[in-house]
Structure 1
Amino acid sequence: MSDYRYLVRKWVKPEDLNQHGALFGGRLLQWVDEEAAIVAVTQLGTIDVVTRHMSEIGFSARADRGDLLELEYRIVAFGRTSITLSCRVENAVTGHEVLTLDRIVFVAVDAAGVPVAHGRTEATSGTERLRTAG
């Protein structure tokens, strides 16, 4: 789609661990969804977006306490009411892939939750769409 790339880093802390001492998968998915929503909001210029779909999630390696993770997002496509992203999570220290998600779809909605056209077709690198939306 574009060369747009959004990168965020997360530190694995003791409160993020499961009973085996590894990063809890649900915590990682929470991080993935939250950061993806931030990308969707800045790209579409509205805070009124909902997660509509996530493709199969591939957990490739574990992450442990103290690991630094990089969550990288790319835009796959703009739809009439949606934006589709991909996400790859990598351990910044080891370089091992931790998770991949090929498709995360967000939909712009109105106050009643009905999908609405957003009018975006190209990526932006900043947050100017949020400032000009209102």
Structure 2
Amino acid sequence: MSAIKKAGESRSVNSSYVLPPDTNNHGTLFGGKLMAYIDDVAARAAMRHAGLPIVTASTDSIDFLHPIKVGHEVFLEAIVTWTNKTSMEVFVKVIGENLLTCERTVCATSFLTYVALGKDGRPADVPKVVPETPDEKLLHETAPARAEARRQRRSESKRLAETFGIKRPWEPEM
């Protein structure tokens, strides 16, 4: 496995025609369905980059910007933007297209983090990512700030898990 890979080598795409069973009562794509599409395409980009099995470590954000309507196509593009020792940040851009007018709109963006796994099931080293295009460079340059925000959010999540533990909310405090 190469110790360095170009960001573009990880690019993964997917598209789907939005049918009525995929939509809510507003005739727009279910957010949960889009989240599954995002995780799927991002995971493939991470596997392509790592050359190893991966697991989702976090979904940093999914920002829904515009609805995707029934009868439209949803197109997703994912790329590895940043790597640490065993983890990879993946950016996903979601485009909705009206197939009758060919009008396209960026409908969502998302950042997710994946960890590569070795044969022993433990975290394994991943190649460094090298951005080439202006967009890749921008995402790469801004990644350290997102990584720090992730660390802080994860620390807070651990604190909340310890605070609330596994007690049931309807049981009185002892």
Common fold by TM > 0.5: yes
Query: Distance in 2 between the 1:81 and 1:29 partners?
Result: 24
Query: Distance in 1 between the 2:115 and 2:43 partners?
Result: 10
Query: Distance in 2 between the 1:106 and 1:57 partners?
Result: 15
Query: Distance in 1 between the 2:124 and 2:79 partners?
Result: 22
* Structure with more contact order per residue of length (Cα contacts < 8 Å, sep ≥ 6): 1
Considering fraction of residues, name the structure with more helix: 2
Q: TM-score, normalised by structure 2?
A: 0.61
Cα offset for 1:3? 5.4
- Residue in structure 1 matching 2:85, options 77, 80, 84: 80
2:128 corresponds to which residue? 121
List, as ranges, runs of 4+ consecutive aligned residues in structure 1 with deviation greater than 6 Å.
none
The alignment status of 1:98 with 2:107, answered yes or no, reads yes
- Residue in structure 2 matching 1:17, options 23, 31, 46: 23
RMSD: 2.2
- Residue in structure 1 matching 2:67, options 43, 56, 62: 62
User: Can you list the C-alpha shifts for 1:17-50, whole angstroms capped at 9, x where unaligned?
Assistant: 112221000000000101111111121111x211
Q: TM-score, normalised by structure 1?
A: 0.77
8 Å contact from structure 2 (residues 45, 80) kept in 1: no
Identity of aligned residues (%): 27
Letter in 1 for 2:112: I
Letter in 1 for 2:104: G
User: What 5-or-longer segments of structure 1 have no aligned partner?
Assistant: 124-134
8 Å contact from structure 1 (residues 2, 75) kept in 2: no
Instruction: Provide the aligned length of Structure 1 versus Structure 2.
Output: 120
Letter in 2 for 1:61: H
